[in-house]
Amino acid sequence: MNDMDDTETHPVHRRDGLALWRQIAGRIQSDIASGATKPGAKLPTEAQLSAHFGVNRHTVRRALEELSRDGLVRVEQGRGTFVAEDVLEYTVEARTRFSEWIRKHNKEPSGIVRQLREIQADRRVADGLGIRGGGRVVMLERLGFADDRPVCLSRHYFPASRLKGIFQALQSTSRITDALLAVGVEDYLRLQTRVTARLPTQTEAELLRTARNRPVLIAENVNVDRDGAIIEFASGCYPTPRVQIVFEP
């Protein structure tokens, strides 16, 4: 939307099986995701957009309705359509704390613990934690909210032998930082983050309140304490386009 001009049309592909309104919704979404149109900015009016894409106004409205339901834009009668401010940009930094991330967007963080168990590490978790397969790990599954929107379904794995008492610590507090503090980890940093994307399982889609055909971002990361010892391996699942992951080196 950064190269708007009302005279020239930016044609969409007709007869290719993908509905025009879906194409238009996708383009606007891309512009938001890429940062071309920033949160809070006003989109062109429906009339302008319909001229822009060379379609009827109703077709544009169908696209905007979809984006509005996804929470990507906010439509105000008599004023216009605006990019929603509450698209959470998840900046991957060395020091990443859930509550600080959410609060940076002026939202209230909260979370519910869905599972807390001591299990045997499978291959992937063992690799991440740098322990041998089958070792005991404490697993915490947690659903994180920003205000009342679910933004993150994460699983955290802690090496049980290295962090004695972590299970009890996690039982008494829902903040991971506090639990780690209770077992003597005063600070921790992110060593590595790997991001992929896939379609959500049904459970993930329900918990994160996202559509099953909309991909989720998977961020796996390894956290180390001040001595460089690995103390956590975590795998988070984030709904797009509500959450966007940004690397800032």
Residues at the site binding a copy of itself, with contacts judged by CB under 8 A: 69, 110, 112, 114, 145, 147-149, 202-203, 205-207, 209, 212
Q: Which is nearer to DNA, 19 or 92 (CB)?
A: 19
Say which entry of a copy of itself, DNA, none residue 69 contacts (CB below 5 to 8 A, set by partner kind): a copy of itself
The neighbouring-strand residues paired with 237 are: 153, 218
DSSP string for residues in 1-25: -TT--SSS--PPPPSSSS-HHHHHH
Nearer to DNA, 80 or 135 (CB): 80
The answer to whether residue 15 forms part of the interface with DNA (CB under 7 A) is: yes
- CA 232 to mean position of chain CA atoms: 20
CB of 99 to a copy of itself, least distance (A): 16
Q: Which of the ranges 27-35, 72-80, 87-95, 126-134 carries the binding residues for DNA, by CB under 7 A? A: 72-80
Cα maximum dimension of the chain:
68
Residue 197 touches which of a copy of itself, DNA, none (Cβ within 5-8 Å per kind)? none
Q: CA-CA distance, 144 to 149, in Å (whole number)?
A: 8
202 binding DNA? (CB under 7 A): no
Q: Is residue 213 a contact residue for DNA (CB under 7 A)? A: no
* Cβ atoms within 10 Å of 148's Cβ, excluding its own: 9
Residue of 2, 7, 77, 202 interacting with DNA (CB under 7 A): 77
Rounded Cα distance, 70 and 209, in Å: 10
Cβ proximity to DNA, 82 vs 145, nearer residue: 82
Supply the minimum distance, in Å, between the C-beta of residue 185 and a copy of itself.
27
Question: Is residue 153 helix, strand or coil?
Answer: strand
Alpha carbon of residue 64 to chain centroid: 22
For 42, which DSSP code?
A: B
The answer to the question of residue 2 lying near DNA (CB under 7 A) is: no
Q: How far is the CB of 135 from a copy of itself (least distance, A)?
A: 28
Beta carbon of residue 160, minimum distance to DNA (angstroms, whole number)? 51
Closest to 24 measured CA to CA, from 15, 36, 11, 35: 11
